[in-house]
Amino acid sequence: AQETANSLTPQFPRILFKAFPHYLMDNNVAEVIQEGDVVMSCVDNHDTRLLISNRCCKLNNVVFVSGGNDYEDGNLQVHVRENGKNKTLPIANRFHPEILNPTDMNPGKIKPVEKGCEKLIETSSPQLLFTNKSIASFMLNCLWTQQDGRLKYDEVYVDVVNNRAREVVRFVK
């Protein structure tokens, strides 16, 4: 985490990158995600997505972009809160019961903790580099659009085989 923060800082000097080389958990989420933050999340489990979503719902001003994917498709969700009001839906919502009621586990809850990610890798599906990069690109596009004041969707579904992306609007502004 520190190495990544160090390499990004000179490239983007106006952005503060903070390394946090620990699992995000109930006891540290408030330290990591604070008022006015932009959160870009690429976690591989719904339990952690729910933790982040719940924290963001408690803040007055936050932008939360969450990306995830299977092998050949994926999605990103964006939750924007301004002045204590949702401008888009929280990512844990009725359209995503897998996040609202996760059946997987945050790797920090797996004992022993240092084996958390290794344990998840044993049970996870394979990943395709092209899909990972596509979702990352769409996440950055989403952030840029939001920062530019032109965000008009809550979610984008991406299919790399058919080279398609579809935006979804669920929140009435």
Picking from 39, 84, 79, the residue whose alpha carbon sits closest to that of residue 61 is 84
Asked whether the predicted pLDDT for residue 130 surpasses 70, the reply is: yes
pLDDT band of 148, cuts 50, 70, 90: very high
pLDDT band of 46, cuts 50, 70, 90: very high
Question: Hey, which bits of 29-104 come out as E strands?
Answer: 38-41, 62-69, 73-82, 85-86
Q: How far apart are CA 71 and CA 51, in angstroms?
A: 24
Greatest extent of the chain over all pairs of C-alpha atoms, in Å = 45
Write down the pLDDT at residue 5: 86
Asked whether the predicted pLDDT for residue 61 surpasses 90, the reply is: yes
